[in-house]
Chains A and B, each alone.
Chain A
Amino acid sequence: EPEVTQTPSHQVTQMGQEVILRCVPISNHLYFYWYRQILGQKVEFLVSFYNNEISEKSEIFDDQFSVERPDGSNFTLKIRSTKLEDSAMYFCASNFGTGGWGELFFGEGSRLTVL
């Protein structure tokens, strides 16, 4: 069964460093997302991406964050200068269409620890 894959599974970084989290969405999906879950809190929407551009972003997704689809398969989330509060599990997701068109397929997550 096709699945969303994410790397790395866990990354530890120093505050102020740049981090890139990578995702390979399901190949025939058109919409790509990043969500995050801070420990003990709810899963929060960060950004959605369609047709090579951001289609929606949350207030969390400030100028420190960027997304890119550098080739036909990868979808990346970059945090330019990490802060302690960026420590969270980051989930990539994809689907065929928006909202009610179909459920999101999530990857297993990348745990980011900022020291």
Chain B
Amino acid sequence: DQQVKQNSPSLSVQEGRISILNCDYTNSMFDYFLWYKKYPAEGPTFLISISSIKDKNEDGRFTVFLNKSAKHLSLHIVPSQPGDSAVYFCAASATQGGSEKLVFGKGTKLTVNP
């Protein structure tokens, strides 16, 4: 039951270029989406979020885009830096449905090469 899918297990980009991480979801009840970053031996760390009433949210080098009709969101990192190398998880929740749980994708391992 993959309600949140990250179809690319890994992505490699050059420093300074744009990293684009993709996420698809199937549950139309999801109305809040988040991206988390995870380094080895650490817990996930919140990066950026977007509500379903928006289609874009920007925070410094990180921008999340939401396409509700396609049930697709993406995280853009520009410019990418070696320190961005980590596993990125997309997560979603159905807040209007009263659910408190986040449903995570399997993650995409980003490697930014110097």
Contact = CB atoms under 8 A, between A and B. Distances in A.
28 contacts: A4-B43, A35-B102, A42-B89, A42-B104, A42-B105, A42-B107, A43-B44, A45-B103, A55-B100, A56-B100, A56-B101, A58-B101, A91-B44, A93-B43, A99-B93, A99-B94, A100-B31, A100-B32, A100-B49, A101-B95, A103-B34, A103-B46, A103-B49, A105-B46, A106-B44, A107-B43, A108-B41, A109-B42
B109 to A, nearest CB: 12
A51 interface: no
Contacts of B42: 108-109
Contacts, number: 69
A48 B46 CA distance: 18
Interface of A: 4, 31, 33, 35, 41-45, 48, 50, 55-56, 58, 91, 93, 98-101, 103-109
A104 B46 contact: yes
A56 B93 CA distance: 13
Interface in B1-49: 4, 31-32, 34, 36, 41-46, 49
Say which size band chain B's interface belongs to: 20 to 34
B106 interface: yes
A21 B31 CA distance: 32
Nearest to B44: A106
A93 B63 CA distance: 24
B43 A106 contact: yes
A98 B100 contact: yes
A91 B36 CA distance: 14
A98 B95 CA distance: 7
Nearest to A31: B100
B69 interface: no
A57 to B, nearest CB: 9
Contacts of B43: 4, 91, 93, 106-109
Nearest to A89: B43
A31 B11 CA distance: 34
Contacts of B99: 56, 98-99
A41 B51 CA distance: 26
B23 to A, nearest CB: 12
B25 to A, nearest CB: 13
